[in-house]
């Protein structure tokens, strides 16, 4: 049954994505905000498909902790699910993604026009400088920055090394960093066809204020993000046992 529900979701998502890609094509000549709005509509549709076909929903915690000023949001990355919800969690985010994605025909045009930030992960110091400048411009227009500190998805129970990009943003932009924990990998595993029913929890943690040195910041970010993620995973597993 899980296979059938996952298959139906995948087929429906491809159809929905194809339809929205056609709708979005004329918006390449429209103001950036129009592309952002169509991206949000696409994510809303994807979440409805997940809920109806798979039985997978989500809950958001800690929204009262969101700072009033521009901020950087450092998300734990466990699943492709995160890419289907970011515009529903934050208003007009500028998402840091690998540069290769911005080169994909149609998709790359859309994300560039919407103001996403591509980074060359092999570009060293030059890439970090470009990341900082692009992020500064995004904050200036009112877009929060979304970055995945590990740079790629990590399976449940594992962690990848935290990359220097988030530290560069923290030091250079002088704004708070909000760690964001989640447990999506329990329901939609990395590179897995199967999607499992349940409730994903996304939790905004207390912001890390500007002013720490690089090592102290990275230690604090990783400790907060990993400990909260472990707590959410344990909670979801306990809920399964109680069901």
Tens-place pLDDT, residues 194-209: 999 999 999 999 999 9
Provide mean pLDDT across the span 7-16.
Answer: 97
- Tracing tokens 């993620």 back to the chain, one arrives at 229
Asked whether the beta carbons of 128 and 165 are under 8 A apart, the reply is yes
Work out the percent of the chain whose per-residue pLDDT is above 90: 84
- From residue 202, alpha-carbon distances to 14, 88, 185 in Å are 25, 12, 12
Provide mean pLDDT across the span 44-51.
Answer: 98
Per-residue model confidence (pLDDT) at position 173: 96
**From CA 74, how far away is CA 205, in angstroms rounded?**
10
- Tracing tokens 């929205």 back to the chain, one arrives at 20
- Tracing tokens 């897995």 back to the chain, one arrives at 192
Per-residue model confidence (pLDDT) at position 243: 64
Provide mean pLDDT across the span 74-89.
Answer: 96
Residue 55, both tokens:
């039985």
- From residue 37, alpha-carbon distances to 84, 103, 113, 121 in Å are 14, 21, 12, 28
**From CA 92, how far away is CA 97, in angstroms rounded?**
15
**From CA 23, how far away is CA 72, in angstroms rounded?**
30
Sign of CA dihedral 168, 173, 176, 177: negative
Lowest-pLDDT choice from 72-81, 115-124, 184-193, 205-214: 115-124
Q: Pick the closest to residue 228 from 84, 61, 66, 82 (CA basis).
A: 61
Q: How confident is the model at residue 242 (pLDDT cuts 50, 70, 90)?
A: confident
């Amino acid at each position: 049954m899980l296979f059938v529900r996952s298959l139906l979701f995948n087929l429906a998502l491809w159809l929905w994505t194809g339809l929205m890609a056609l709708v979005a094509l004329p918006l390449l000549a429209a103001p950036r905000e129009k592309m952002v709005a169509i991206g949000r509509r696409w994510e809303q549709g994807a979440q409805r498909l997940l809920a109806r076909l798979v039985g997978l929903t989500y809950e958001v915690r800690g929204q009262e902790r969101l700072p009033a000023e521009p901020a950087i949001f450092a998300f734990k990355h466990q699943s492709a699910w995160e890419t289907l919800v970011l515009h529903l969690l934050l208003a007009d985010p500028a998402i840091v993604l690998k540069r290769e994605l911005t080169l994909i025909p149609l998709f790359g045009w859309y994300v560039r026009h919407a103001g996403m930030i591509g980074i060359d992960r092999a570009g060293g110091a030059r890439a970090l400088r470009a990341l900082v400048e692009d992020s500064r411009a995004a904050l200036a227009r009112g877009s929060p920055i979304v970055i995945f500190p590990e740079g790629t998805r990590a399976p449940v129970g594992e962690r990848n090394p935290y990359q220097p990009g988030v530290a560069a943003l923290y030091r250079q932009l002088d704004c708070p960093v909000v760690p964001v924990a989640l447990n999506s990998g329990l329901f939609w595993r990395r590179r897995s066809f199967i999607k499992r029913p349940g409730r994903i929890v996304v939790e905004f943690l207390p912001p890390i204020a500007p002013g720490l040195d690089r090592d102290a910041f990275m230690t604090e970010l990783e400790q907060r993000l990993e400990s909260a993620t472990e707590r959410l995973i344990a909670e979801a597993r306990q809920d399964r046992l109680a069901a």
